[in-house]
Amino acid sequence: MTNIPDLIGVLHKSPKGEDLAKALIELLADADDEDWILVLVKLGEATRERRFTLSSPVHPTKAESVVKSIVLNSDSILTAEDIVQLAPEYPRSLKHRSGASSVLNSLVSKGELGKLTIGRETYFASLEEAIRQSQVAWMREHPYQSPEHINPSAIASMTGLSTAQVIRVLSEMF
């Protein structure tokens, strides 16, 4: 087994190595086979998510370029209906709410935009703004938590982004 000494070396080099080691010990100290399998599956998912997040971006469609420009140049968060109102005549798919929603959700899945739900309405914004708005909502729901204890996984589920994307954007914001 050569991976264990390599892991120890990686943990020693990382400023977060001690935290990761502690988390792994807590997870696996009394673990049975099913727990080990679950942890391996989750680590595999995290590895794939990290590769996806770091992979080179796919060239956007004309509709994606138009929608992204509208959202990023807006002074406020926007709904799919706002896109229908603001979009030019071409591409025609943007003149329908379903087409605008499809393009917006595609941009979220590619990590180009973030989304957030306020009441019953879904809004779209830049990654930073979606995360900022979601942080505020999370802090309202968890008033006794300090801002540095915000859960990136919770923010990811609120914004439609991956946890890796949220962590990357948070590190760039602060």
What are the CA-CA distances from residue 19 to residues 86, 153, 161 (Å)? 47, 17, 24
User: Domains (ranges, CATH) in the chain?
Assistant: 3-54 (no CATH), 62-173 (1.10.10.10)
The one-letter code for the residue type at 172 is E
Q: What pLDDT score was predicted for residue 58?
A: 64
Joined tokens for residue 111: 């990590």
Rounded distance between C-alpha atoms, residue 42 and residue 5, angstroms: 22
pLDDT of 83 higher than 90: yes
Instruction: Give the number of other CB atoms < 10 A from CB of residue 131.
Output: 26
Q: Which secondary-structure segment (H or E) carries 43?
A: helix 33-54
pLDDT digits (tens, 9 = 90+) for 122-161: 999 999 999 999 988 888 888 887 767 788 888 988 998 8
